[in-house]
Amino acid sequence: MTEWMGLPPLATTHGGQIDSLIGWIHIFMLILFVGWGGFILYAVVRFRKSRNPVADYKGVTSHRSTYLEVGVAVVEAILLVGFAIPLWAARVEGLPPENEALIVHVTGEQFAWNIHYAGADKVFGRTDIKLIDLQSNPLGLDRSDPAAKDDITTVGQLHLPVNKPIIVYLRSKDVIHSFGVPEFRVKQDAVPGLTIPIWFIPTITTADMRTRTGNAAFEYEIACAQLCGLGHARMRGIVTVETAEEFQKWTAETTAEQAGAAADPFR
């Protein structure tokens, strides 16, 4: 129903609702545009100077325009109360239970996305601002904390299993960034000092999307959607949606790699 809008392909369960809301807004706005445009043309012709050489100080006496304006307000109220608020509530309040979801911490900074997984123990290791090293440890993860032993951190590489609820806790280290993945119909500001949860269920793996779109180089991309500084345009991240087995394999390999690197200071 929403193909006519030319949106990017859809790859989450909730995205269809967002698309239909965007569709309805376009339809109502088109009606408004035609209505108001027609009214202006009518007024220009109807009240032209040659027909009305002397100003009329009484003005309009009919109530038709009032009814019309009330009608527009009612349609807008229906859009807001009937569509936008319920959808917003489901996205913001209806978080899935944490034990059924994959939880990822995503922290924006000028100009990168830092990704942090808790690893097999599902407990995020301690982070400390004093341990932050922009090159080797941008999140300040304390590898001596037992909970951090199996944690995974990456810069700009977000791996997600398909068909599983994902909760992303969004943060920012410096300015306001925005986590936007167009195919997921997800876009949320990352605000310094706040931890903002967002959730979604990806439905199509990167490999499937490559087949569907016929684009062998297709990648889901995290695009920073707030102008956050000079390097904003290169603040990109790659989201790899894969099968549960592939995700498991990636997790195991990356955990082993990073735990090894942490244990060997000369590496």
Residue 172: other Cβ atoms inside 10 A = 24
| H runs (alpha helix) in the chain | 15-46, 64-77, 85-92, 206-213, 244-263
Asked if 106 contacts 184 with a C-beta cutoff of 8 angstroms, the reply is: no
Sequence-distant (≥ 6) Cβ neighbours of residue 70 within 8 angstroms: none
For residue 131, the minimal CB distance to Cu ion (Å) is 23
For residue 237, the minimal CB distance to Cu ion (Å) is 10
Our finding on whether 239 is near Cu ion (CB under 5 A) is no
Give whichever of 181 and 224 is closer to Cu ion, judged by the CB atom.
Answer: 224
Give whichever of 78 and 233 is closer to Cu ion, judged by the CB atom.
Answer: 233
For residue 151, the minimal CB distance to Cu ion (Å) is 24
For residue 105, the minimal CB distance to Cu ion (Å) is 16
Asked if 137 contacts 148 with a C-beta cutoff of 8 angstroms, the reply is: no
Binding mask 133-172 for Cu ion (x = CB under 5 A): ----------------------------------------
Our finding on whether 225 is near Cu ion (CB under 5 A) is no
What are the Cα distances from residue 149, in Å, to 46, 121, 181, 216? 78, 9, 30, 36
Our finding on whether 224 is near Cu ion (CB under 5 A) is yes
For residue 158, the minimal CB distance to Cu ion (Å) is 15
Our finding on whether 177 is near Cu ion (CB under 5 A) is yes
Query: What's the burial of 144, exposed, middle or buried (CB within 10 Å: 0-12/13-18/19+)?
Result: exposed
Our finding on whether 235 is near Cu ion (CB under 5 A) is yes
Amino acid at 230: L
Footprint on residues 94-123 left by Cu ion (CB under 5 A) = none
Binding footprint of Cu ion on the chain (CB under 5 A): 177, 224, 228, 235
